[in-house]
Structures are given as structure tokens and as C-alpha cells.
Amino acid sequence: MALTNGGAATPAPASGGSNLVLILDYGSQYTHLITRRIRQLSVLSLCISGTAPLSAITALSPKAVILSGGPHSVHLPSAPSFPDGFLSYVQENGVHVLGICYGMQLLVQKLGGVVDVGEKQEYGKMEIEVQKESALYAADEVGGHQTVWMSHGDEAVKLPPGFEVVARSTQGAVAGIEDRKRHFYGLQYHPEVTHSTKGMETLHRFLFDVCGLSADWKMQDVLEEEIKTIHSMVGPNDHVICALSGGVDSTVAATLVHKAIGDRLHCVFVDNGLLRYKERERVMSTFESDLHLPVTCIDASEQFLTALKDKEDPEMKRKIIGREFIAVFDDFARNLEKQLGKRPEFLVQGTLYPDVIESCPPPGSGRTHSHTIKSHHNVGGLPKDMKLKLIEPLKLLFKDEVRKLGSILNVPESFLKRHPFPGPGLAVRVIGDVTKGDALDTLRQADEIFVQAIKDAGLYDEIWQAFAVFPSVASVGVQGDQRTHAYVVALRAITSEDGMTADWYYFDHKFLIAVSNKITNSVKAVNRVVLDITSKPPATVEWE
């Protein structure tokens, strides 16, 4: 993996080579789960737009290509498709192709078959029957049923020449097809989701038995490759600034870059006035005592809060925070220039793959059939005229992979297990104007009580992320035999593997009662506590 000097992701599978699986993304919410599932099997996988030019595909020399699902119908003129010449390229080079859901229908249509609106739409958990031994299904699976996750309204009603049906849904729809001679395969369901009970077995067969791939992709390879990439970007006399947030991502990124260039890395921790309870003191202590990173702490809280005054729109708040961060970094760079006699050229950020996915179409796309969920704090909030060039060594990794990389770099385990914290900080947890009243202090107190209670109960490592939210809504209550009109605080705790999808954590009722009582008794401005029980999707992790 590599990054160009502008921060644009350019997958370079030096560590995977011909062992690369390339996913062409057609907009499914599960596309990047495919990427993760394949990596979990120790095979390098990368994801680019399904409409990327043929040159982008051939440059990567994949051993296998997976066409993802998507919300489109192949009947529509605007339906996204792989580039001209793709089918010829994969056949001439012996590349195996697996179409999933929309991807299967696209294969069928482009190879001369027929896809039509299904008589019965199939969504959610469904049963399929394996009809014959094939490349995708073992002999002992024939005649058996599997629970799978379906999400389609169209179906293949006529297969192209050379294809055969190997599985059908119990409603009769085609569920699995293959043309072994030309290395084309298709699944109408999503094997990558946990609801497909034998999905990982099917992917395993496709990768290793069908494609002949090797399970040889390791985090050590990623570390060595990223160090080479940093050396190629940063000259022997260049200096680099790293924005440390106190979270896992920026810390691992800083440690990696420090390993590559040593003391030419200059770390800065910015107190933007949007930090958690005593976060500044706790983080700086960890940097100095455990990580031994040279860090300058800058108190820019007044600067940020002044810029955010009266701003309520979440996208506007993110943009302002991104702008102010860059202004602080530019000022820090100017001061460094005076000390070093040379201006730093680069800025390190701990951007992850999910950050990129949620902020824009997948790497290298330029497509229009993907929708931005939100401008991410590490991506969408940066001004176009930023003078510093970005280094984002984690940009194609998921959170669990970053933690593995951090372990190799000897980042303390206690630090690696910290819950994620958003770059905009509490600005995305106070709905509306963050400077209004005592919103920030109220939120800090409630959040500290909630998170500490989780730690005391021994639940912290079971939860992906836990925090309090200040909805800026007041409610009527009774406290001390008096009628009150105070604020509501919402609690959110989720479980997840990578932050792409999440479920809410099921607390014991006694725990919730104790936390609610402590917040309403300890935080004067709060008289009501509610629990967010929404999964992702439909919600995102943060409220803004």
C-alpha cells in the first residue's frame, strides 16, 4: 500500500503482488466487509470504484476480482459497470472473477444472459439449497440447506452460455452460478455477512481452492512497506509534523513515522477546548512516560471555541475544526522553521480506511453512485489550499489491523485498547452550538461517570466505543421535591469489529440504573438520562 504526496490513496500491492484480490465497489453497504473478510484469511485485498478505468485494474495485476453488490438495477442506463475491455483482460490473464449480488447480475447481463425483475423479492435471511458439487460448494454440501443473507429485487432468469446453476433459493431463484472454464462465478447472496452461516467457508474455497491464492499477507509486511513508502516521500533532510489526538490511530501513525525518520518527526497535541474530562493531562502523561514521543502541547481552546460560536450545522462545525487545526499546524510549522532553518513539508494523520469510505467514494473513484455519509474529521475537513502535504500511513487499514500494527511497534497494550475518539472531539457530541451555556462541561462530567462505570464493571474491553451525548434538549423533572427544567444526556455504547457496522451494547439493567442515578445526582444540569439503542446502519456511531 502506498500514498501519493497529496494523500490520495494509491494501492500498491508490493506485499501481495499476484496474490492480490481486488474488489470493484458498486455501492453496497457490505462492500468493505468483503475486504475485511479476505484480509482475515491473510490475503491482501483492496477496494476501488467499480467504474475505475481498466488501467487502474491492470496496474494492480490482481489474481482475483470480486464484483460487489449495490443498490442499482442492471436494466437502468445509469447502472454502474466495469470498464470496456475488462472481460477480455480477465480471460486473457486467467483472473478469477466472483460476482456478488448486483455483481453477479452484472456478469450475467454482460456475458449475454438475462436479468429481470424477480417474481418474489428476497431480502434478509433466506434459505438456499446447494444443487450440485462445484468449485464453490463441497460434495458433502450437495442437497443441504444454508442460511444466507439476500438483498435483491432482480434475478437472473437466463444464464450466459457456459454457466450452470449450482445453488437456488428455496423460492426457486438462482443463488449460485459458475463457468469454471472461463473462471467466472456468481453468488446472489452476501457470503461476507455473518448471517450467511457458511459464507466464510465459501469465500475460503474461492480464494484457496479455486484461485490458488496463498495466505501470506501479514502486518509485518505492511510495516516494512509503509516505512519504504515514507522514505520515498520524505527526503533525507525533510521534517514532518504529526498531529496527535491521544487516540490509537494517530499514536500508531506517529510511532511508525518516528521509526522511519527518527527525530525529524515533530509531534503536536492540540487542546481545542473539545476534549474529554482531564484528557489533556492524561494524554500528555502517557506520551511522555510510556511512548517517549517528543510532543509539544498547544492550548488553542479559545481559538477553536471562538470560531465555533453560534455554529449549529454539523458539517459546518467539522469544516471549521479542520480549518482551525490546519491554522494551528501552519503556525507550529512556521515556529519550527525558525528553530530548524527549514520549514516542515509534511503532516501525518491517523486516517483509517473507514474514515475514507464514509467521507468520499472509494479510492481512485471519481464516481457519482456513492453517497457521502459525512465529512470525516481526518478527510473532509481539510482546506484545499493547505500548505502541508499529507502522510497517511494507515489509510488503507481497519481499526483492528492498526492495533495489530501498534503491537508490532511496541505501543503499550493499554493504549491500543483505548476506545476511538473523534477528531472534532465533543463538537460532534454536543448537538448544535457547543459554546452555548455549560454544554461542554456538563457533557464531560456525564461522560466521565459513564466510561468510568464501564471500566469499574470490567466491561471496557467488551465495548468498541462508549460515550455520552448532549442533545441540547431540556426536560421537566423533579429533584429535591422541586420542579426542574434541566438537560437530557444520552448514553451510547456499541460493539463492532471495524466501525463499519455496529450494534448497541446490551447492559444489565442494574448497571444502567446505577449510572443514571449517579449522573442525575452528580451533574446538576442533568435531570434525565436516555440510552441510544440504534445500530449502524441505520445510524452512524457519532450523533453528528
| Active-site amino acid positions | 101, 190, 192
- Cα 493 to chain centroid, rounded: 18
Reduced to 3 states (helix: H, G, I; strand: E, B; else coil), residue 90 is: helix
- Is 249 annotated to bind ligand? yes
- Is 385 annotated to bind ligand? no
Spatial distance between the Cα atoms of 299 and 293, rounded to a whole number of angstroms: 19
- Is 480 annotated to bind ligand? no
- Is 247 annotated to bind ligand? yes
Residues 6+ apart with CB under 8 A from 338: none
Phi, psi angles (nearest 5°) of residue 12: -135, 95
- Is 246 annotated to bind ligand? yes
Question: Helices 509-522 and 439-456: crossing angle, nearest 10°?
Answer: 140
Q: Side chain identity at 282, as an amino acid letter?
A: R
**Nine-digit cell string for 470:** 448532549
Helix (H) / strand (E) element for 151: namely strand 145-158
Phi, psi angles (nearest 5°) of residue 301: -60, -45
Question: Helices 314-340 and 301-308: crossing angle, nearest 10°?
Answer: 150
Task: Kindly tell me the burial class for residue 488, based on how many C-beta atoms sit within 10 Å of its own C-beta (0-12, 13-18, 19 or more).
Answer: middle
Give whole-number Cα distances, 281 to 68, 230, 277, 298, in Å.
46, 31, 9, 12
Contact 264, 393 (CB under 8 A): no
Spatial distance between the Cα atoms of 172 and 345, rounded to a whole number of angstroms: 61
- Is 51 annotated to bind ligand? no
- Is 313 annotated to bind ligand? no
- Please, what sign has the CA dihedral across residues 73, 75, 81, 86? positive
Tell me the binding residues for ATP. 245-251
Tell me the binding residues. 245-251
